[in-house]
Chains A and B, each alone.
Chain A
Amino acid sequence: MQNLLLTGIFLSFFIFFIPKNMKYWYTLLLLLTHILISSIWAAESIFYLSSPVSITIIPDILNYDFSLHIDKLSGFFLIVINFTSLMGFIYAYKYLEPYKRIKFELSFSIHYFSYLWLYLSMILVVCIQDGPAFIIMWEIMALSSFMLVIFNAENRTIMKTGINYLIQMHIGMIFILIAFLIAEKDSNILGFRSLDIYFSEHMNFPLFVIFFLGFGLKAGFIPLHTWLPQAHPAAPSHVSAVMSGVMIKMGIYGIMRVTASLHNDLFSIGIFVLSVSLISGVLGVMMAITQHDLKKLLAYHSIENIGIIGIGVGIGIIGTSQNMTLLSVLGYSGALLHVLNHSLFKSLLFFCAGSVLHSTKTKDVEQLGGLIKKMPYTAALFLFGSLSICGLPPFNGFISEYLIYSGMFKSLANTDLYMSFILVASITGLTLIGGLALFCFTKAFGVTFLGQPRSGKTKTAKEVSTVMLVPGFMILIVILLIGLASSIFTGPILLIVTETFNLSGLQNNFDDVRNSITKINVTGLIFIITVALIYYVRRVVLKTKIVTYGPTWGCGYTAGNSRHQYTSTSFADNFTLLAKPILRTTKSMESIGGENLFPESAVFRSKNHDIFKDFIIEYPKEFILKVLKKIAVMQTGQINHYILYAFLFILGALLLTYFKLI
């Protein structure tokens, strides 16, 4: 089977030579083959084998053994990657169609090729333990996703965003490389295998932080997130779905892989991860609320969800340090399940946002409204996605958040002072995140799909083609499956966690967890049946009544129009007021001329700042530009000056060597 992988890699280059109308199907075929192979590996490693699957790809070139190593953790991530990538590619079929008229064949070749390679690099990243190969795959992942982001490179801002993304990814890669090199010192192995040896002999905290900076940049923890809200809206929607759904999870994978090898400093590392995650979670969703670009809003929500996953990992590490195995298991399991959950509902939401964009040519929610009438299926999918991302039962988001919550509440009684405060802080944080997410998605759904159209953009909107809806419905099925038959998923995940992080001997308490999960599922079913029942009764009752339709109650004012509706900004207004110190919303208003007899047009603007972007990227950038501008005085454009510089340089070099300084 390893040969199949190699052949696939070889065959991928032929995408460029396939006729235009066959390109998509050719790529799909390759993608499906690889998905099949890697799914078999994943299933073997999770369900059948107790030891990891090891596959030698290219034996012994230059004494370098290139092999894949698939343990349970890799297997889990393989499944996550496979599902979302396939759904994304199915969605792309119709989504890219309008571009066929305006784009060259080559851009499609590059796009499909990059998509395939993004997928391949992701599955290889989770399967390779070896340093150099891992870094190469990590690099290919960054490059291919860069190519995907700049699909609409004619647009200058998209190109700029892409380059920004590429630079940040490389900074992240450098951190990972440095960390691997540090770990290599003792064992002479470059890769994840060296970590066990290094961590058992040295302080863990510094190296972990370097790894965290590298992987965290990919994952998008605040303050390393600045690329995320720019790159996701710039990319085509199926790419945003894959990037946000699975690619940023590669960062989480890296952090989990490193975490599994930790030996000491666990408590401080745990606190570090937990606090960064709490900040990411709360601030991510706070910034999401103020957005009115639908895809940007979703991008900020990715940061929030990475925060939730990080909270799980953080309390997992802390639990291990305090010998609270149950806390640890539930934390890690919650985090892992949330990785899967987030990949599902986030890609679903991005698909829906993409469909809205496809259909209305805008993603500014202030111009949308009333789309539920024109795009009922997209609206329904978006609604279910919103409910799951808010962590509401009976959908999947609740299950993962519940695991984390129950770990924390259960451990609260038997801990010391500091732990109690840490746990209560995390509980409060997680609660706030939940509440804020609810605020945000009532806004996003309500303003986009409900009410009346806010501009003419929605006039031509119509439901997208079935091909674009199919991935959404397939994801919805999995979402409901996790929400209502959770044990199918939580069982294997508990197993993966106990094996990966060496936590065992708690079989009894797992029964407790399984029991609770089953009861949650039963309550979920009761909920759905009751809703259906009440709704049925309502229909029967309404049949006996006279039902009339009329305008919305306007409080006596009959000339109301769609501009009187609440907009995205006004819905968030009371929140932005409350969160002013953090969000720094600036408002400017040119008032209606006071002296003039007749009022003139007035302008009101409000702008939300991402303070981290301002302080970490924008201000330093401005400073450097300023300094460079001053240095640019030397750049006179006169050839004699340049000869003078060369002369001075040679003179300096001579003098320095003369005095034996260099």
Chain B
Amino acid sequence: MTGLLLIILSSVFFPGIILRIKSIASGRKGPGIMQPVKDIIVLFRKNNVFSDTSSLIFQIAPAVGLTAVLCSSLLIPFADKPALINFDSDFVYFSYILALGKFFMIIAALDTGSGFEGMGANREALFSMITEPAFFILLGTFSMLTGYTSFSDIFTQFYMSDSDFVMIFSLIGVYILIQIAMIENSRFPVDDPKTHLELTMIHEVMILDNSGFDKTLIHITTYLKFAVYGSLIYNISVPAGWNIYLQLLLFAVVQALFASTVGILESFRARNRMRKNPDFILTLTAISIVAFVVVIIIRGKMI
């Protein structure tokens, strides 16, 4: 329960922090930290415009997308408290339920019959497809390291294992999860949410026709998704056994750091050419395979 509440709480501040960091890095005064929340409220008040071409799919997709992320957040533990719902191999469920949300967003984009949105849809489908193996191999590595197969067990046992190399895995895990979070949320270097040209967009171009309440839901989904990944990152970077108040503080710090990383990356890095994206994403799989091999060596299976 704590995990869920913390995720919802941090998702409120997350986009604001990114925004602040980006303004500071580019030397602007920039909007306040609560600006994204204000934007959402503005959007909520607006009227809706729908395309004639679209159907019920278009209307229901944002709700499915949001629910998928909410359901995935039920599986995330906090500190040594197990998640609200935890079972063996629950990360499989985590990944598949997020995929369900994506499925609906993709077909909703196709529902408008717009060439632009079709373009975004097919990019999103491709990139999210090739991201999956990295996540699964990473979690496979963790479950091999700890001997457990659910998020809650893996994270409580993560720092208990007697190996001295846990820090390495923690680092690799954090790296891969940050990259996956960036891809899943269509951020740098795969996608740029602030680009003004439809031809170079991925996620933004998919939601060109959404307005009002639907757009609100989509924004909330994105923020929540960031917070979910942030909380995964927190779980592998901080031992579960520490004092609970310290943990709460650290949680805020890690989420803020994650948001700042996103902001800094977006300020100082150029985005990839679209053609380069698959290579970039597949590199993540390669890295997680390396982590996997290292675990094999550490566990003495090689010799």
Give the B-binding residues of A (Cβ under 8 A): 369-370, 372-373, 383, 387, 390-393, 398, 401-402, 405-406, 409-410, 412-417, 420, 423-424, 427-428, 431-432, 434-436, 438-439, 441-443, 445-447, 450-452, 512-513, 515-516, 519-520, 522-523, 526-527, 530-531, 534-535, 538, 541-542, 545-555, 560, 562, 564-566, 570-575, 578
Which of A383, A414, A513, A566 interacts with B118 by CB under 8 Å? A566
Look across to chain B and name the residue whose beta carbon is closest to the beta carbon of A398.
B96
Q: Is residue B200 contacting chain A, with contact meaning CB distance below 8 A?
A: no
Query: Which residues of B80-123 have CB atoms within 8 Å of chain A's CB atoms?
Result: 85-90, 92-93, 96-97, 99-100, 102-103, 106-107, 110-119, 121-123
Q: Quote the shortest CB–CB distance from B23 to chain A (angstroms).
A: 28
Contact of A531 among B67, B112, B115, B302 (CB under 8 A): B67
A331 to B44 alpha-carbon distance, docked (Å): 48
A564 to B139, CA, bound (A): 42
B280 at the interface (CB under 8 A from A): no
- Tell me which residues across on chain B come within 8 A of A438, comparing CB atoms: 99, 102-103, 125, 128-129
Contact A522 B85 (CB under 8 A): yes
What CA separation (Å) do A575 and B208 show in the bound complex? 23
- The verdict on B28 contacting chain A, using a C-beta distance below 8 Å, is no
A-B contact pairs, 13 of them (CB 8 A): A393-B97, A398-B96, A409-B88, A413-B143, A417-B302, A423-B140, A442-B107, A451-B118, A530-B71, A531-B64, A538-B217, A555-B198, A574-B126
Q: How far is the CA of A412 from the CA of B133 in the complex (A)?
A: 16
Asked whether B165 is an interface residue with its Cβ less than 8 Å from the other chain, the reply is no
Complex A-B, nearest 9 residue pairs according to Cβ-Cβ distance, in ascending order? A566-B118, A446-B110, A435-B129, A451-B113, A516-B87, A406-B89, A534-B63, A552-B51, A413-B147
Task: Indicate if the CB atoms of A549 and B50 lie closer than 8 Å.
Answer: yes
Q: Given the complex of chains A and B, what is the CA–CA distance between A535 and B67 in angstroms?
A: 10
A415-B300 Cα distance, complex, nearest whole Å = 11
The answer to whether B71 touches A548 (Cβ under 8 A) is no
- Return the chain A residue nearest B45 by Cβ: A545
Say if the beta carbon of B264 comes within 8 Å of chain A. Answer: no
Q: How many angstroms from the CA of A422 to the CA of B102 in the assembled complex?
A: 29
Question: How far apart are the CA atoms of A574 and B278 in the complex, in Å?
Answer: 10
Q: Quick one: which of B63, B71, B119 contacts A538, CB cutoff 8 A?
A: B63
With both chains docked as a complex, state the minimum distance between the C-beta of A595 and any C-beta of chain B, in angstroms.
Answer: 31
Q: Which residues of B are at the interface with A, using a C-beta cutoff of 8 A? A: 44, 46-57, 59-60, 62-64, 66-68, 70-71, 74, 85-90, 92-93, 96-97, 99-100, 102-103, 106-107, 110-119, 121-123, 125-126, 128-130, 132-133, 136-137, 139-140, 143-144, 146-149, 198, 208-209, 212-214, 217, 278, 285, 289, 292, 296, 301-302
B133:A432 contact, CB within 8 angstroms: yes
A405 interface neighbour in B70, B92, B97, Cβ under 8 Å: B92
Query: Of A372, A406, A420, A432, which contacts B144 at CB under 8 A?
Result: A420
Task: Report the separation of the CA atoms of residues A369 and B53 in the bound assembly, to the nearest whole angstrom.
Answer: 11
In the complex, residue of chain B having the shortest beta-carbon distance to the beta carbon of A536: B63
* A452 surroundings in chain B (CB, below 8 A): 53, 113
Q: Are B89 and A432 in contact (CB under 8 A)?
A: no
Complex CA distance for A566 and B113, rounded to whole angstroms:
8
Question: Closest Cβ of chain A: how far from B176's Cβ, in Å?
Answer: 14
> Which among A372, A390, A442, A565 has the greatest number of chain B C-beta atoms within 10 A?
A442
Known: A402-B92, A516-B88. 12 other contacts (CB 8 A): A372-B55, A383-B57, A406-B149, A420-B296, A428-B137, A435-B132, A446-B107, A519-B87, A522-B85, A545-B212, A547-B48, A549-B50
Are B133 and A574 touching (Cβ within 8 A)?
A: no
A451 with B53: in contact, given A402-B92, A409-B149, A438-B99 (CB under 8 Å)?
A: yes
| Most chain A CB atoms below 10 A, which of B44, B87, B111 | B87
Indicate if the CB atoms of B122 and A573 lie closer than 8 Å: yes
Interface pair B71/A523, CB less than 8 Å apart: yes
Known interface pairs A413-B144, A548-B47; A520-B111 also in contact (CB < 8 Å):
no
Would A553 and B51 count as touching, CB distance under 8 A? yes
Q: How far is the CB of B206 from chain A (nearest CB, A)?
A: 11
B133 touches A554 (CB 8 A): no
Query: Which residue from B56, B114, B146 sits with its C-beta under 8 Å from A554?
Result: B114
| Chain A hits for B116, CB < 8 A | 553, 555
Contacting residues, chain B, for A393 (C-beta < 8 A) = 93, 96-97, 100
Distance, CA A516 to CA B152, complexed state (A): 14
- The majority secondary structure among interface residues of chain B is helix
Q: Is the CB of A435 within 8 A of B128?
A: yes
Instruction: Given A432-B132, A522-B85, A551-B51, check contact A439 B126 (CB 8 Å).
Output: yes
Least Cβ–Cβ distance between B73 and chain A, in angstroms: 11
- Report how far A526 CA is from B71 CA in the complex, Å: 8
Measured between C-beta atoms, what is the minimum distance from A592 to chain B in Å? Answer: 20
A530 and B301 form a contact (CB under 8 A)? no
Which A residues are in CB contact (< 8 Å) with B144? 412-413, 420
A436 touches B129 (CB 8 A): yes
Contacts of B93 in A (CB 8 A): 393, 398, 402, 520, 523
Minimal beta-carbon separation of A376 from chain B (angstroms)? 8
A542→B119 CA distance, assembly (Å):
29
Residue of A nearest to B75 (CB): A523
Q: Are B119 and A428 in contact (CB under 8 A)?
A: no
Contact B115 A428 (CB under 8 A): no
B115 touches A564 (CB 8 A): yes
Q: Which of B46, B93, B125 has the most CB of A within 10 A?
A: B125
Set of chain B residues within 8 Å of A513, measured between Cβ atoms: 88
Are A387 and B100 touching (Cβ within 8 A)? Answer: yes
Q: Give the distance in Å from the alpha carbon of A406 to the alpha carbon of B91 in the complex.
A: 10
Give chain B nearest CB distance to A553 CB in angstroms.
Answer: 5
B214–chain A nearest beta-carbon distance, Å: 8
Separation in Å of the A300 CB from the closest CB of chain B?
17
Contact of B113 among A369, A406, A416, A530 (CB under 8 A): A369
**Are B110 and A552 in contact, with the CB atoms below 8 A?**
no
Complex Cα distance, B99 from A398, in Å, reads 12
A442:B111 contact, CB within 8 angstroms: no
Which residues from A are CB-within-8-Å of B99? 390, 392, 434-435, 438
| Chain A residues, Cβ within 8 Å of B74 | 523, 526
Q: Which residues of B contact A372 (CB under 8 A)?
A: 55-57, 111
Distance to closest chain A CB from B17 (angstroms): 26
Given the complex of chains A and B, what is the CA–CA distance between A550 and B54 in angstroms? Answer: 10
Distance in angstroms from A451 CB to nearest chain B CB is: 3
- Are A412 and B96 interface neighbours, CB within 8 A? no
Question: Chain B's nearest CB lies how many Å from the CB of A304?
Answer: 14
Nearest CB of chain A from residue B19's CB, rounded to whole Å: 25
Contact B97 A527 (CB under 8 A): yes
Beyond A393-B100, A438-B102, A534-B63, is A410–B122 a contact (Cβ under 8 Å)? no
Q: For residue A217, give the distance in angstroms from its CB to the closest CB of chain B.
A: 30
Q: Which residue of B lies closest to A454 (CB)?
A: B113
* Set A423, A516, A545, A574: member contacting B89, Cβ < 8 A: A516
Whether the pair A447, B147 counts as a contact (CB closer than 8 A) is no
A551 vs B148: C-alpha distance when bound (angstroms): 52
Question: By the criterion CB–CB under 8 Å, are B92 and A406 in contact?
Answer: yes
For B54, what are the chain A residues with a Cβ–Cβ distance below 8 Å?
Answer: 552
How many angstroms between the C-alpha atoms of A372 and B113 in the bound complex?
12
In whole angstroms, what is the CA distance A401 to B74 when docked? Answer: 21
Residues of A within 8 A of B47 (CB): 545-548
Question: Judging by beta carbons under 8 Å apart, are A445 and B107 in contact?
Answer: yes
Query: B125 near A531 (CB under 8 angstroms)?
Result: no
Residue of B nearest to A509 (CB): B88
Return the chain B residue nearest A529 by Cβ.
B67
Report how far A95 CA is from B143 CA in the complex, Å: 51
Select from chain A the residue with minimum beta-carbon distance to B131: A435
Set of chain B residues within 8 Å of A541, measured between Cβ atoms: 44, 213
- Chain A: CB-nearest residue to B289: A424
Chain B residues with CB below 8 A from A436, complex form: 129
Most chain A CB neighbours (cut-off 10 Å) among B88, B112, B133: B88
A420/B301 in contact, CB under 8 A: yes
- Whether A548 contacts B114 by the Cβ 8 Å rule is no
Q: Are A410 and B88 in contact (CB under 8 A)?
A: yes
Are A446 and B106 touching (Cβ within 8 A)? yes
* Cα A513 to Cα B130 with chains together (Å): 29
Q: Which residue of chain A is the closest to B300 with respect to CB atoms?
A: A417
In the assembled complex, the Cα of A534 lies from the Cα of B117 at a distance in Å of 24
